[in-house]
Amino acid sequence: MMELNALVTALEEKYPIILELYGNKDGLTLSRIQVDKEHQGEGIGTKVMSEIVNFADANGLVIVLTPEKIGNTSKPKLIKFYNGFGFVPNKGKNKNWAFREAMIRYPENSNIMKEEKIKGGKADNKTVEDLAKKHNVSVEDINKEIETGVEIEIEHTKDKDLAKEISMDHIDEFPKYYTHPKYGLMASEKKMKKELEESTIKTMLREALDLNVNDETPETVTYLLKANDRPAGRVEIAPNTPEMDKYTIELVDLDVFEDYDDIKTGTETMTAIWKAFPDAMTIVLTPEEGTLQFWEKLGAKPLNDSYWFIKRGH
């Protein structure tokens, strides 16, 4: 892509950065934006991302990346930063199987998500009245839930029509998907935020991890990892996907705090996963480039160019 090469050259000449941005027919892959130490904190990263995003939108290209801790900037902060530019997790409804990166951004004013990502949604061809009748609630209740859903989903898609469609798909399965005081998405996110903010991990792991369901959707189950009754990280599992049999589950994401980032934690996490899914015989995962040795020690083997697998008992 000559235009992409010109963009990278122009940005590196304009700003004190090292930029690794690659492209092919499927989209753009952002590997690194490194701002010179002397100029960090000046908003250069934001300016560079804005220009990359504008380029992608103008050319109808998706952008993918995998946030990693950089210096004093934590992974959660990077995820929040990229969320602000429209990036969402590359999984569930947003999954693009052409990429293994953790986050993806679809171009604005395009039909990519509408045509490919929401096709076959559970609320397709259904009206608000249909949802109200199905759940035996009022149309007003459904409309309020949709309004809340749009406010949440719009942060990820920046497309109001798409946000509404996603919301209706979720509400079709559970009428208070967003606002239920205990099981709703808002309650789950609030609980997670509180638990993470209150956690202060100062001791190394002394006992096996516990898996506690933190969020459950039709596609994935997110567990809170706990060590000594304190949050130690999160693990996200997709127990049933159309591409897999009932004895196979996908480890979508494993994110542990630094104090627990070791083989022992990994081993005990796998033990907890097998215990949580007693019928599962195989776990598939997409390891990040720098974690291959870690997963090899846990018994993982390559399945193809993108996926690795672990058999029960290994």
Cα gap 228→210, rounded to integer Å: 9
Q: What is the pLDDT of residue 12?
A: 92
pLDDT in the model for residue 303: 79
pTM exceeds 0.85, yes or no:
no
> Any idea where the domains of the chain sit in the sequence?
2-105, 118-173, 201-311
At the second CATH level, the architecture of 2-105 is: 3-Layer(aba) Sandwich (3.40)
Assigned fold of 201-311: Aminopeptidase (3.40.630)
Return the beta strands (E) in the chain as ranges.
17-24, 27-35, 63-65, 88-89, 103-105, 210-216, 221-227, 230-238, 248-256, 282-285, 301-302, 308-311
Which helix (H) or strand (E) covers residue 138, if one does? none
Same fold, 2-105 and 201-311: yes
Mean pLDDT, the chain cut into blocks of 10 residues (314 residues total): 82 92 87 87 90 90 86 75 88 73 82 45 79 91 92 74 85 85 71 49 36 54 75 77 67 76 80 84 82 86 81 78
Q: What angle do CA 74, 77, 78 make, to 5 degrees?
A: 90
Residue 264: predicted pLDDT: 81
pLDDT at 72: 62
What's the confidence (pLDDT) of residue 183? 66
